[in-house]
Structure 1
Amino acid sequence: MVFQVTTPNAEIIYPDSDGKPMADNTKQFRWIVTIKENLELIFANQSDVFVAGELLWYPVEGSRTLCQAPDVMVVFGRPKGDRGSYKQWTEANINPQVVFKILSPGNRLGEMAKKFQFYDRYGVEEYYIYDPDDIDLTGWLRKEDKLEVINEMNGWVSPRLGVRFEVASGTLEIFRANGEKFLSFIEIDSLRAQERQRANQEQQRADEAVTQLEAEKKRNEALVAKLREMGIDAEQI
């Protein structure tokens, strides 16, 4: 979706920060990081999928105040890499297709309405808002050039991301297409530790088996040598 305005010749500076904190509390921050990093893992081998957290998105060249910083955004069709901000006109005019917002007590209704209008106007295909305090997930999907609410989010599968949302057991759970659940860094590190322990145990068992085989071989060689001393051919026994 292409948007452009006429600008004077003077260079326009597009700030890389809006001066607002990334998160208002630890719970909001944890969810932002968990969703962003798990999406990074999903698309790690796809060079043309860009995932970012709290990155300012400028959709229109020449307008430095028209911007939003989604908690998490995913852009299909753009290369990975570091950016100070996402200036759409320098990114083949490809807008972010998927956006996440994690609510905090500081969010206001008017602010959220402006965000929705922005994402609706500038081409976001999927917009998800999660309230970790009330365990409430709301989503919108673009239909006929506008975002329309998704009636049932429990069990919903994102068309773009392929992930499934489950709102149960007093929390939100997100699953990859292969059924693996989104995990925090602590959970991922715990699984890695378990995997290392399992690998070490398997290696130890393999080493013990080799040691037993070598010991058995030495006993057999000693027996053959003893029989040979006695004038007995072990192969004829």
Structure 2
Amino acid sequence: MSTISRPALVPEVVFPDSDGRPMADNTLQYKWIVIIKENLEILYQDRDDVFIAGDLLWYPDADNPKRCMAPDVLVAIGRPKGYRGSYRQWEEGGVAPQVVFEIHSPSNDPEEVMRKLGFYSRHGVEEYYYYDPETGKLTGFIRDERGLEDGIDMHGFTSPRLQIRFEPGDGPDAMEIFGPDGQRFLTTVELAQQRDEANRRAEAAEQKAEAERQKAEAERRKAEAAEQKAEAERRRAEAERQKAERLAAKLRELGIEPE
């Protein structure tokens, strides 16, 4: 009896959408992740070819699910917006995120920091920014022929890719980031306050315009009333003149010359 050989089943390679690690270790770290991610979303809201994500696993290789990193914020220019469970580079036209941000947390020991730098340098990141909000130190790494290199004075430095400007400030939590239009990156509360203030100004402008419209309408009606009064006076005067002419004509019929 012959036996039928069956092809061996190749186990499917699984790329998890989570590494089981928390997005942030504290509120200060989370604050800066949200500020950078959400303000970049606003900055690129009109471009469908810029994908921005926070704490999303990035897999650069289709054959190695253990080789991955979850930047606090990543920017992939040339990739469409939309939902992703993870960023699988081979499904993204081979495009690596060009810009990544990491916000320091207590769990980021020097070994972890160097591991992330090595990963980003090997896998094509063009700009890597590491910010420690507790000390206020901002480090920028820009790609050259050797890979990602630091040594940049970040005070007033402008991202080549994003055209955003960094002002680290002095002391903890003092960094400011400015968009290409010079507008500072704002917190969610500041954005809400800005929106509310814009709504208040728009409402005040609308009320002022309405008051001006009503004033102009009142002036128009006043002018129209004055014109009607003048027309009535003209008609009355014309009626008096015609009456006087008729009276003068009648007197002449009677042989009396009117004065």
TM-score (norm 2): 0.83
Match of 1:5 in 2: none
Please give the alpha-carbon distance, in whole angstroms, between the structure 2 residues aligned to 1:167 and 1:187. Answer: 19
Distance, in Å, in 2 between the alignment partners of 1:220 and 1:29 is 64
Deviation of the 1:127 alpha carbon: 0.7
1:193 to 196, 199, 204: 196
Distance apart, 1:18 and its partner CA: 0.3
- Equivalent residue letter for 2:63: G
Note if contact 2:89-2:95 (Cα within 8 Å) is conserved in structure 1: yes
Indicate whether 1:155 and 2:156 are aligned: yes
Query: Offset of 1:115 from its aligned partner?
Result: 1.0
| Partner-residue secondary structure (3-state), 2:168 | strand
Residues 96-130 of structure 1, C-alpha deviations (whole Å, 9 max, x = no match) = 11110000122211111111111111111111100
Q: Give the C-alpha shift of residue 227 in structure 1.
A: 3.1
Q: Contact 2:136/2:170 (CA < 8 Å) preserved in 1?
A: no
What is aligned with 2:217?
214
Tell me the residue number matched to 1:105: 106
TM (norm. structure 1) is 0.91
Residues 35-50 of structure 1: matches in 2 within 5 Å?
35-50=36-51
Cα root mean square deviation, aligned? 1.7
1:17-166 equivalences in 2 (<5 Å): 17-166=18-167
Contact 1:50 1:76 in 2 (8 A): yes
Q: Distance in 2 between matches of 1:180 and 1:70?
A: 25
More helix by share: 2
Please state how far the C-alpha of 1:221 moved relative to its aligned partner. 2.2
Gaps of 5+ in 1: 1-7
Spell out, residue by residue over 1:192-220, the C-alpha distance to the aligned partner (whole angstroms, 9 max, x if none).
11111111111111111111111122222
Q: Which amino acid in structure 2 is aligned with residue 226 of structure 1?
A: K
CA distance in structure 1 between the partners assigned to 2:146 and 2:37 by the alignment: 26
**Residue identity in the other structure for 1:78:** R
> Is 1:177 matched up with 2:183?
no
**Percent of aligned positions with the same letter in both sequences?**
48
Task: Judge conservation of contact 1:227–1:233 (CA < 8 Å) in 2.
Answer: no
Return the alpha-carbon distance in structure 2 between the equivalents of residues 114 and 198 of structure 1: 50
Structure 2: stretches of 5+ with no match in the other structure: 1-8, 238-259
Separation of aligned partners in 1, 2:224 and 2:47: 57
Tell me the residue number matched to 2:245. none
Q: 1:85 to 1:217 in 2, by over 3 A?
A: same
Confirm whether residue 204 of structure 1 aligns to residue 207 of structure 2. Answer: yes
Contact 1:31 1:102 survives alignment (8 Å): yes
* C-alpha contact 1:141 1:150 (8 A) present in aligned 2: no
Following superposition, the deviation at residue 151 of structure 1 comes to 2.6
Q: Distance in 1 between matches of 2:96 and 2:26?
A: 29
Paired residues in the alignment total 227
3-state DSSP class of the match of 1:230? Answer: helix
Greater CA drift, 143-152 or 156-165 = 143-152
Secondary structure, in 3 states, of the residue corresponding to 2:176? strand
